[in-house]
Amino acid sequence: MTPDAFRSFADSLPEGMLLVSGDGTILAANVRLAECLQQAPEALVGTPLAALSLDGGEATRLLDEWSRNSPLPPGTLTVRVGGEPTRFRAEGTVLEHVAQGGDRQLLVRLIPKQGPEQDPELDEQLLALTEDRKRAEAERAGSAQRWQFLANASTALGSSLDVDQVLRTIARLSVPALADWCTVDMLEADGSVRRVAVTHADPTKRDLVDMAATYPPDPQGKHPRTSVLRSGRSLLFAEFPDESLPQMAADERHLAALRSLAYRSAMIVAIKARGRTLGALTFATAESGRRYGPDDLALVEDLAHRAALAVDNARLYAEAQEANRVKDEFLATVSHELRTPLSSMMNWIALLRQGKIGPEQVSRGLEVLQRSGEAQARLIDDILDVSRIVSGRLRLQPQPVELSDVVRDAVDTVRPAADAKRVRLEVVDEAAGTRVLGDPARLQQVVWNLLANGVKFTPEGGRVSVLVERKAQETRIVVTDTGEGIAPEFLPFVFDRFRQAERVANRGHTGLGLGLAIVKHLVEAHGGSVEAQSEGRGSGATFVVRLPLVPPR
Amino acid sequence: MRKAVLIVEDDDSAREALAAFLAAEGYPVSEAANGREALDRLQQEAVGLILLDLMMPVMDGWEFRAVQMRDPMLAAIPVMVITADASARSRANNLGVQGYMTKPIQFPQLLAFVDRYC
């Protein structure tokens, strides 16, 4: 205790008190004692207790006795007060927190012998003071424990980029330091709630824990966690009313489990990052009887904030890894796709140079060389287009364009491939004469890509059709095929760069999966939109391009 | 009679040219567009060497090789993998094949290899 702290409480006491260091030096004296001794309180500071006493030996013996005995036996000190030797009863108390380490300090009460030996009121006040001091000590210790907990939690949060592992560590650290029971629930992308971790201080409640773990809150339920997940605002239940349990329980069995867990107090805090609620931490007490207060809530909110940052980091990392993986896969596909026509060309060159084939096969070889070369050139054009799109360097050269011309040119270009595969190509033009403002080469690229895509995914004997129609505000180009269709789970990604490559490489389709990404960008650059529809695998696909009649400025 | 070289390759024009080339060099040649067709051909004729593409529809080269190794009648037929997948080499080591080449084909090496087995 500092002399100031001593004075702040001891000055208000109606009895004389001293704060004495272990070696017997007076560190402070209160006003009452100074009055009693007819001196200024400051005058006593720094002098040995023995110097205060008329008989120095008396004080030395008392201090010696106090150093060897606990509790401290009361003694007698004779002090000169205004020339008169006055006997005082001396009662000493060792300050507990200093007793635990560091310098020993004594609180010494000096009671005039002729006065009342015991003052019950005074004792009560002293007791209250000791209680206060103990509570302050406990709070200090609690606060140290909290800092330690947060430090441990931060270390755990920084130790892994695996979200679930991080959250399980948090739950483990929280019990029993913060709670008798802790659960972590995360919101999934589809809005469902996934229980990531459950820990309980009492291993005999393992079964109940397992039981409760099989009852993650449903997103529409009445469990208070549901409202935390929805609103992102924390909830503190200082005292858990038993009546609230039926509202939280999914069924009778669950309710029985909740009852046996005997909740007393609980806190639920949201794990929030960048304004989005990612999940919730739930802390509850039962057998420990601990009651949560605002301090506890502040602590777990701090914890949830740190957890949110860790989860967010881990997610960003996983996304970056995924983007990298897709890119690596794309490069492997580019290499494969460029090698395939190249390989065909090299085989034909070897055959032509061998000089043992007839003129008919020679001309067929030259045709293959030309086709393979063109395919490679297209692949390179696509890669360059995507590169331009990504860096925002793709420029359009807009002019009034008749859509019928665009579609006809695209159909002519794709017809040889359709014929070779015996896929029927149909054109229905209901918008003859309709003009849009656009880059004719790029619009033709859009239609050609959609048609080529349709032919590629349509088996022999199938059909690819293109319909051009004019609506009030827009023209539509609808390309429909009778091909293998698009699985519903893949539909949202058909326009993503690189995506097709990973899906179809093993099904024997060629191409980089860039065509539709380029289509989407080009259509949007024309102020339009493109949409893919499919009833699923095996039922064909439809692509609808919408272009404005009067393009936006 | 010489045993045939079985070319398993899904790119029609590449396979056509390679088949014509080997035929002109005097080797009997058999063709298949995927692993499934290759298994059919193996039932019908004596094959001395298989030139195997890896990425193919219906049944790819990996699956074909697994089926081949399980069949005691076929397991001994030597295989050279010819693939456009430049990253497949380390995985292809586990296939236990006799030869490996990344496309495009280097014809002198291919001829030396074919000559050894057929």
Condensed to tens digits (0 to 9), the pLDDT of residues B14-30 reads 999 999 999 999 999 99
Asked if A372's CB is within 8 angstroms of B13's CB, the reply is: yes
Asked if B17's CB is within 8 angstroms of A347's CB, the reply is: yes
A479: closest CA of chain B, how far (Å): 26
- Going by C-alpha positions, the residue among A78, A47, A82, A44 that lies closest to residue A61 is A78
- In angstroms, the CA A258 to CA A249 distance is 7
pLDDT of residue A101: 55
pLDDT of residue A206: 66
- Phi and psi angles of residue A353, each rounded to the nearest 5 degrees, phi first: -70, -25
- Going by C-alpha positions, the residue among A309, A533, A313, A546 that lies closest to residue A431 is A546
Give the DSSP letter of residue A299.
H
Window 489-548 of A, Cβ < 8 Å to B: 505-509
> Among partner residues B55, B104, B107, which is closest to A506 by beta-carbon distance?
B55
CA closest to A349 among chain B residues: B17
pLDDT of residue A221: 64
Write down the residue that tokens 């058999």 correspond to.
Answer: B30
Which residues on chain B are in Cβ contact (under 8 Å) with A335? 84-86
Asked if B103's CB is within 8 angstroms of A342's CB, the reply is: yes
The CA angle A389-A393-A394, to the nearest 5 degrees, is 60
- In angstroms, the CA A278 to CA A229 distance is 8
Asked if B104's CB is within 8 angstroms of A336's CB, the reply is: no
pLDDT of residue B81: 95
Task: Categorize the per-residue pLDDT at B1 as very low, low, confident or very high, splitting at 50, 70 and 90.
Answer: low
DSSP track, A311-353: HHHHHHHHHHHHHHHHHHHHHHHHHHHHHHHHHHHHHHHHHHH
A402 CB burial (10 A radius; 0-12, 13-18, 19+): middle
> Among partner residues B21, B55, B102, which is closest to A354 by beta-carbon distance?
B21
- In angstroms, the CA B115 to CA B30 distance is 16
> Among partner residues A343, A354, A505, which is closest to B105 by beta-carbon distance?
A343
Interface pTM, i.e. ipTM? 0.93
Give the DSSP letter of residue A496.
S
- In angstroms, the CA B82 to CA B105 distance is 7
Tokens of A143: 């606060």
pLDDT of residue A98: 54
Low-confidence ranges of chain A (pLDDT < 70): 96-102, 114-123, 126, 206-207, 209-222, 498-511, 550-553
Which residues on chain B are in Cβ contact (under 8 Å) with A357? 20, 24
A369 close to B (CB below 8 A): no
Which residues on chain A are in Cβ contact (under 8 Å) with B25? 354
Tell me, letter by letter, the H, E, C secondary structure of chain B: CCCEEEEECCCHHHHHHHHHHHHHCCCCEEEECCHHHHHHHHHHCCEEEEEECCCCCCCCHHHHHHHHHHCCCCCCCCEEEEECCCCCHHHHHHHCCCEEEECCCCHHHHHHHHHHHC
Which residues on chain B are in Cβ contact (under 8 Å) with A332? 85-87
Write down the residue that tokens 């309980």 correspond to.
Answer: A200
Cβ atoms A1, A106 nearer than 8 A: no
A348: closest CA of chain B, how far (Å): 5
3-state SS class at A377: helix
- In angstroms, the CA A127 to CA A121 distance is 10
Write down the residue that tokens 């195997």 correspond to.
Answer: B52
Give the DSSP letter of residue A175.
H
- In angstroms, the CA A234 to CA A206 distance is 27
B79: closest CA of chain A, how far (Å): 19
Question: In the beta sheet, which residues pair with residue A88?
Answer: A77, A112
- A:B CB pairs within 8 Å: 77
Q: Which amino acid is at A524?
A: E
Asked if B14's CB is within 8 angstroms of A508's CB, the reply is: no
A542: closest CA of chain B, how far (Å): 24
Asked if A350's CB is within 8 angstroms of B107's CB, the reply is: yes
A354 close to B (CB below 8 A): yes
The CA angle B18-B19-B20, to the nearest 5 degrees, is 90
Cβ atoms A452, A515 nearer than 8 A: yes
DSSP track, A415-477: HHHHHHTT-EEEEEE--TT-EEEE-HHHHHHHHHHHHHHHHHHS-TT-EEEEEEEE-SSEEEE
- In angstroms, the CA A342 to CA A337 distance is 9
B55 close to A (CB below 8 A): yes
b/e per residue, A80-119, with b = 16+ CB within 10 A? eeeeeebebbbbbbbbebeeeeeeebbbbbbbeeeeeeee
Asked if A508's CB is within 8 angstroms of B56's CB, the reply is: yes
- Phi and psi angles of residue A215, each rounded to the nearest 5 degrees, phi first: -115, 65
**B98: pLDDT strictly greater than 60:** yes
Cβ atoms A544, A478 nearer than 8 A: yes
Question: In the beta sheet, which residues pair with residue A530?
Answer: A545
pLDDT of residue B21: 96
Between helices A206-213 and A252-261, what is the axis angle to 10°? 140
- Going by C-alpha positions, the residue among A424, A521, A410 that lies closest to residue A480 is A424
Give the DSSP letter of residue A293.
-
Considering Cα of A485, then A490, then A493, then A496, what sign does the dihedral take? negative
